[in-house]
Amino acid sequence: MDPWIIHKNNLGVWAEQRSILDNFVRTCSITYNSAYGVPVLWFNLYDSDGQRITLGSETDNTTLQKLSVYKNLISENEHPCLGMAFYNLHPCHTEELIKLLSNEKNYVIKWYSVVHPYVLLPSPPLNFYKEA
C-alpha cells in the first residue's frame, strides 16, 4: 500500500501518492478546490521510459482501454500547486455525485468511494481533509 504524503507550498496543500502498477507508474494527487468546496483528484500515468501517457489515444493496453470508458468525466488541466498538466475528475460532477450520497460524516471517504473505481486507487488519504 503506497503511502499518501501531504505536501504544502505557497499555493496550497495537496496529498500525493505514487504507485507502480503493471508496467506504469501512477502519480495521484488530491487538491482542494475553493470555488466548488470539493476535493479534486488528479492523476498521471507514466510508461517504463518515464514518459507521460496520453489518455484517449489508440492503445492495446487493457487498463488504458478501461480508463477511456470514463473519458467524459476526465479531462486535462494544470495542477494548481505543481503547475504541470494532469488528468482530473471534473469537480462540478463530484459535487452532483456527492449530493446523491449525502451524509455529513466521512465526507472524504464517501467522495473517495465515488472516484476510486475510475482510477483503481487502493486506499484513501484519511489525513488529507484535516489539513485542507
Partner 1 sequence: MDDYEIRRNIWEGKIPVEFDFDTREFTSIRSPQSYFAMLPRISYFPLCLSKALKFLSLSVDEDIDVKDVWLEYNGQILKWHYPIGLLYDMHVADVTLPWVINVRSQNHPDELVHPSKDTMRHIFLQAIKEADQLKHRGQVISSMTKDEHNRLFDSVVNNKFDDFWSVNKRLMHDETNKISYIPIRFYEPGSPFKQVLISPSNEDDSPCTLENAIRKALPTIDLSSYTVISQGINVPLNTPVIWMARNLSYPDNFIHILLRKS
Binding site for partner 1 (CB under 8 A): 10-11, 33-36, 51-52, 54, 75-85, 90-92
Residue closer to partner 1 (CB basis): 43 or 124? 43
Minimum separation from the CB atom of position 126 to partner 1 (A): 26
Q: Report in angstroms how near the CB of residue 87 gets to partner 1 at its nearest.
A: 10
Between 34 and 65, name the residue whose CB sits nearer to partner 1. 34
- The rounded distance, in Å, linking the Cα atoms of 13 and 11 is 7
State the nearest-atom distance from the C-beta of 80 to partner 1, in Å: 6
B/e letters for 22-49, b = 16+ CB within 10 Å, e = fewer, are: eebbbbbbbbbbeeeebbbbbbbbeeee
Cell of 17: 501518492
